[in-house]
Amino acid sequence: MKKFDKSGTYSRGGRNFAIVESYKSLRTNLQFALSVNEDKMLLVTSAEANAGKSTTVSNVAVAMAQAGSRVLLIDADMRQPTQHKVFKRSNQLGLSNILSSFCTLNEALHEEVLPNLDLITSGTIPPNPSELLVSRAMTELLDTVKGKYDYVFIDTPPVGVVSDAMNLLDRVPSVLVIARQKQTTYGDFNSAVELITQNGGTVIGSVITNVHERDRMYGDYDRRSRYGYGNKYYYGGYYGSQRNAAAEENNA
């Protein structure tokens, strides 16, 4: 069975049992949390960059697909896209191209990147990502795919930095918020949750990434530290490395 290695790409075999079990636990919790929604679509975001949201959503999508569900992963981070790198697919055509009517869904869709898992990459980086996400074309795309898949997961930019994710909340209100140990501050996390709820979204859970086995207590760090969106995202893997131990799920 294929698994992510520590670079975020796929290889055979596994590295860390704790991380595998964490994603399986997260998968189960999300199945329960989303079971009350007619449209099983989920936004995944964070308060700030480098929290591991793209890694988390790709691994959750894989875990769902491995359980037999038909899954679509959409990279809606059209500012710093990641998923084409994770799955080693071309990003020449993707979400931005679909929404701009430069190509069709079928032309941009990467089918069966893994069994039961399809992917729409971000596409060409546009000058107006926020406007594209709030467009009628985005609504039509979501209406089309929601009837074809058991789950649709959408990777969005950090809510504390840009408004892109907020523009989707009226169509995809369920949100999973990612925080990174020793990086995300309590203040930034709470502000992100408040921003989501004020705009009509529902935070169904959170995930803490980069948790060390020897240091599971979250919060023993300088709460004043902040990180800008100019930083590149952290690319972890399904099994991570020993020093980037398990992705801990919390309240998801």
* pLDDT value for 10: 34
* pLDDT value for 76: 97
* pLDDT value for 153: 98
* pLDDT value for 214: 58
Find out whether 234 and 244 touch, Cβ atoms under 8 Å. Answer: no
Taking the model in full, what pTM does it have? 0.80
Place of tokens 């480098």: 50
* pLDDT value for 215: 53
Amino acid at 30: L
Instruction: Give all domains of the chain, ordered by start, each with its CATH number.
Output: 2-218+229-250 (3.40.50.300)
* pLDDT value for 213: 59
User: In the β-sheet with 71-75, what is the strand arrangement from edge to edge?
Assistant: 110-114, 117-120, 71-75, 151-155, 41-46, 174-180, 202-211, 246-250
Q: What percent of the chain has pLDDT over 70?
A: 78
| Cα–Cα distance measured from residue 166 to residue 163, given in angstroms and rounded to the nearest whole number | 5
- Residue 37 burial (C-beta neighbours within 10 Å; 0-12, 13-18, 19+): middle
* pLDDT value for 17: 74
Mean pLDDT by 10 residues, the chain (252 residues): 41 59 89 88 94 94 95 96 96 97 97 97 95 96 95 95 92 95 92 94 91 53 33 28 32 35
Residues in the chain: 252
* pLDDT value for 8: 43
- Distance of CA 99 to CAs 83, 128, 137, 180, 244, Å? 18, 11, 5, 31, 37
* pLDDT value for 232: 28
* pLDDT value for 15: 53
